[in-house]
Amino acid sequence: MLKQPRESREQQRQREISEFIDGWNWGSLFRNWKRRVEEFNVELDPLFQTISVYDPANPSGRNTELAWWPANSIHRLRKEFQEHLDKWPGTRGPVHPVISDAGPIRTLDYLWQNKEPEKVAAILIAGSIFSRVESGRACFPVNHWPRQPFVYILADWVYAKWQGPEQGNAWHHLCTRALPTNNDDYVYKIDTMEALIRYLAEEHASLLLNYCPVAIEFTSTRSSFAKALG
């Protein structure tokens, strides 16, 4: 029997990558991600909830502000925002009452500029990868996630979908996180692309059920809601 030639290190690497990809591509990845997110009754379109407030010191209106607000506190926070402007017109107001760190706020800008569900998926997945791999404070769950080279394959796919060929750093490396919340990575092992996509979809569903991206619009007239407060 002829002895099979021994694999080179590069051949082994390419074989392992091929086995991990296992026929997946961006299209199948997005379909599975979206299906799992929607199983939690999460709406991706529209992603942002519009909040209207009136600033008496700016009757011509102000630029829209973006924020992450707890989903179960939207009404209360909007009421408190309007009360703040009634007392202190012309001030910025409590735009970020809970999530105020730079990474998640930067993510809001990206989501606002890219509202199509496929790009929303790409941005959220990129944000999840950032906190584990790219942040200067990252702690990669080496015993529970696939090996880093495999995760970088997924990163290449999502950045290509989101940014195209002109890819750049989305978040500053000093940011600890890009999303308001992450799953606890140290519960069970993820060893396939399918399992990784499902895991991240569940992370994003949990995020969007607990924190709502809001677009705070400053109206030029006092709305019926604002009148009811006063």
Is residue 5's pLDDT more than 70? no
d(CA 201, CA 205): 6
Continuous segment of H or E residues that includes residue 52? strand 49-54
pLDDT single digits (tens) 18-48: 888 889 999 999 999 999 999 999 999 999 9
The single-letter DSSP state of residue 131 is: I
Name the band, by pLDDT with cuts 50, 70 and 90, for residue 227.
very low
Point out the least confidently predicted range of 51-65, 72-86, 186-200: 51-65
Specify the pLDDT at position 84.
Answer: 97
Sheet holding 49-54, edge to edge: 49-54, 211-219, 62-70
pLDDT single digits (tens) 62-117: 899 999 999 999 999 999 999 999 999 999 999 999 999 999 999 999 999 999 99
Q: Token match 């829209």: residue? A: 64
Which of the residue ranges 57-61, 103-107, 161-165 has the most confident prediction, judged by mean pLDDT? Answer: 103-107
Give yes or no for a contact between 148 and 77, defined as CB atoms under 8 angstroms apart: no
Residues 225, 229, 230: CA angle, nearest 5 degrees: 120
The single-letter DSSP state of residue 133 is: I
How much is the pTM?
0.91
Give yes or no for a contact between 207 and 36, defined as CB atoms under 8 angstroms apart: no
Specify the pLDDT at position 165.
Answer: 77
Among residues 162, 200, 178, the alpha carbon closest in space to that of 36 is found at 200
